[in-house]
A and B are shown apart, each in its own frame.
Chain A
Amino acid sequence: MSIMNYFRSRPKTSADQAKERLQILLAHERAGSTRPDYLPRMQAELMQVIARYIEIDEDMISVEFENSGTVSTIEVNIELPTELVMQGSSALAVAS
């Protein structure tokens, strides 16, 4: 091992790790803080309505919120069970 390697390969300090962890965490939290509070509730209610007509699992519906400056979009994706698709119904996708 050359002497240069000794200087170059200094292990990451705990402070470096703290900074990295914070940067990742805050990038995530800042994005989340712009989401409306009602999203989880809306997802649960949509779930209830759909479940009245179709047998569906909780993980088959997803509600995503996106904010791109001037326009905000809510994207609702509902995955239907295979037997329904066989009967001719297409996937229900609502975007507003």
Chain B
Amino acid sequence: MSKVIVMTSGKGGVGKTTSSAAFAAGLALRGYRTVVIDFDVGLRNLDLIMGCERRVVFDFINVINGDARLNQALIKDKRVENLAILPTSQTRDKEALTREGVGKVIEELRETFDYIICDSPAGIERGALMALYFADEAVIVTNPEISSVRDSDRILGVLQSKSRRAEEGHEPVKEHLLLTRYDTARVARGEMLKVEDVLEILAIPLIGIIPESQTVLKASNLGTPVILDEESPAAAGYSEAVGRFLGETIEVRFPKQQRRGLFQRLLWRTA
């Protein structure tokens, strides 16, 4: 039985696309047939993060409008088997994203894929609503920062009222919290919200913590899902998140903190 997962956040710039690319690649690496769809009509970027921007011929909107077949628009990833990308349109207006059209494409994808990841645009407008409408599960991408937490709370409300599962009275969309850009050192200094704080406020189960890491920018420079970078601490975070998503019990590890010498620690105390 295939599953539709939406990566959403309300707020922009928290790492939805990075997380979509990493999560999709992580599922595919474990052998699941996975497709990741870009719902950000007009502001196509998933193709860049996935490194397939030069291979885009037809897109999601072409398929919805019947200008292309699904197989013509799907781009198979060259590094990871079982992974495909459905890029969005750069030019068409958002009106093209109709509920019927999106529904038909998702139904067709369900026939060939185990997981369908919907990379939501920011905001709570049409693109974001369409990305979450068909979801079975939702990954709420949140930064430990007040505006991101507030917007996550808003988008949780939208999921609980505007998704198909909510409208048709089915079992609610399963929610997961993915805390990204987490900086253990700043948390220790009291400069950043703790994971416990965010969990207490949003009250949804944690699926993973992605540490703040320079390797994320490097991966996007190269057009590689960060999960493929074996040296990246963010990759480890995403792998664990994928494992938990699949039902494995993995203890939450806190991203490593720089160790300080005794002298430095004493200085820290009094500072």
Contacts and interface: CB of A to CB of B under 8 A. Distances in A.
Contacts of A22: 146, 149-150, 201
Given A13-B190, A13-B191, A23-B201, A18 B146 contact: yes
A29 interface: yes
Contact of A16 (B146, B150, B153, B190): B190
A19 B191 CA distance: 11
A70 to B, nearest CB: 18
Interface of B is mostly: helix
Contacts of A14: 190-191
Nearest to A26: B153
A93 interface: no
A33 B124 CA distance: 14
Interface stretch (B30-38, B192-200, B204-212, B220-228): B192-200
Contacts, number: 36
Interface string A1-20: 00000000000011110110
A30 B153 contact: yes
A25 interface: yes
Interface of A: 13-16, 18-19, 21-23, 25-26, 29-30, 33
Q: What 9 A-B pairs come out closest when comparing CB atoms?
A: A13-B190, A19-B197, A15-B190, A18-B146, A15-B193, A26-B153, A33-B157, A22-B201, A18-B193
27 contacts: A13-B190, A13-B191, A14-B190, A15-B187, A15-B190, A15-B193, A15-B194, A15-B197, A16-B190, A18-B145, A18-B193, A18-B197, A19-B193, A19-B197, A19-B201, A21-B146, A22-B146, A22-B149, A22-B150, A23-B201, A25-B150, A26-B153, A26-B201, A29-B153, A29-B154, A30-B153, A33-B157
